[in-house]
Amino acid sequence: MKPSRLQEHLKRVHADTSKKDMAYFQSLWEKFRKGPTLRSMVSSPLQEENDGLLASLASYNISLIIAKSGKPHSIGKELLLPVISEVLRTLLHISPTEITRKIPLSNNTQQRRIGEMSSDTEETLTTSFALQLDESTLRGNEILQLAYVRFLKDDRLTEQLLFAKDLVTDTKGESIYRAVEEFFKEKSIHLANVMSVATDGAPSMVGSQRGFIAHLNEVVPGVLAVHCVIHRHLVAKRLSDRLSCSLQFVISAVNKINSKSLNERLFSQSCEANDEDFNRLLLHTEVRWLSKGTCLRRFYSVLIPLWNT
């Protein structure tokens, strides 16, 4: 910039310092140079404390996502942390070590976080709320019962995880009801506070005589039951006769191969000989309708070795 323009700016904007000598401005420059920089501010104790709080908040949020997905707690440390590290390293060109080590995602930490959030939900429940139930069978034949609640908080609809409990024996309607009833009694929550309940279409849930809804109706008459379309009923229309026949053929072929160890080993060897990406077939279950697509997709990908079996 021209000196004349600088002089004009000094007199017009900084009139109080326009008569100062050169030593005054040099002292200002020294103060500015010795002042705190952005790097020193980031590494300050206050900033480190804030980073610790943000890391804990991220850990709680990730724990909530894991709980909602129904995945094992170990997925946080085994999968999510490597994914976060790769994103930081590839997209942001940041060393992920300092960031990821501040986010506790071990198995025990996840279990404790979920328990703390569940306890907080128990303390903040209102007198009226909606209940949503879903059960899943894990790999070790363990039956996990998940319960979520929805309620109004500050004029906003809020959804929280209420509990996650193991069902010891089976998934019958009475067993599910007993698990819910025991939890409510333990936490001194009245079942009458349940205004509505959302379940899937399984007979153990919606059965008119022995389903969970039937047992709940005995205690809370007139409770609103909502069918949650998250399973096979999401596909409204039935398959055509031709597609149904093809699907049954695929299911029969898959069951024949997977029913005996010898057939499965021979099929695996055939896939490896043809350099296929997969050497096993997936089973289809009626409860989880999404497995139909994965089963058919896997069957199609190994169709040639299957045809030669």
Amino acid at 184: F
Q: For residue 271, is pLDDT > 70?
A: yes
The whole-angstrom separation of Cα 47 and Cα 53 is 10
79, 68 Cβ separation under 8 angstroms = no
Region 271-286: mean pLDDT is 71
User: Phi and psi at residue 29, in whole multiples of 5°?
Assistant: -65, -40
pLDDT at residue 100, rounded to an integer: 74
And the tokens for 131?
């209940």
70, 147 Cβ separation under 8 angstroms = no
295, 250 Cβ separation under 8 angstroms = yes
The whole-angstrom separation of Cα 64 and Cα 116 is 11
Region 218-244: mean pLDDT is 68
Closest C-alpha to 229, from 160, 129, 134 = 134
Closest C-alpha to 176, from 204, 136, 206 = 204
And the tokens for 123?
């303390």
Pairing label, strands 129-137, 224-227: unpaired
Tens of pLDDT, residue by residue over 72-97, are 767 777 888 888 888 878 877 777 77
Tens of pLDDT, residue by residue over 108-153, are 777 777 777 766 665 555 678 888 887 776 666 677 888 888 888 7
pLDDT at residue 304, rounded to an integer: 60
pLDDT at residue 238, rounded to an integer: 61
Give the pLDDT band (50/70/90) at residue 38: very low
78, 100 Cβ separation under 8 angstroms = no
The whole-angstrom separation of Cα 117 and Cα 161 is 8
Task: Transcribe 147-182 into DSSP letters.
Answer: EEEEEEETTEEEEEEEEEEEESS---HHHHHHHHHH
Q: Which domains does the chain have, with CATH numbers?
A: 3-32 (no CATH), 42-111 (no CATH), 125-230 (3.30.420.40), 241-308 (no CATH)
Residue 160's region, left for phi above 0, alpha for psi from -120 to 50, else beta, is: beta
Cα end-to-end span (Å), the chain? 82
Tens of pLDDT, residue by residue over 146-201, are 888 888 877 788 888 888 888 777 778 888 888 888 888 887 788 888 888 888 76
**Mean pLDDT over each residue of the chain, to the nearest integer:** 75
281, 258 Cβ separation under 8 angstroms = yes
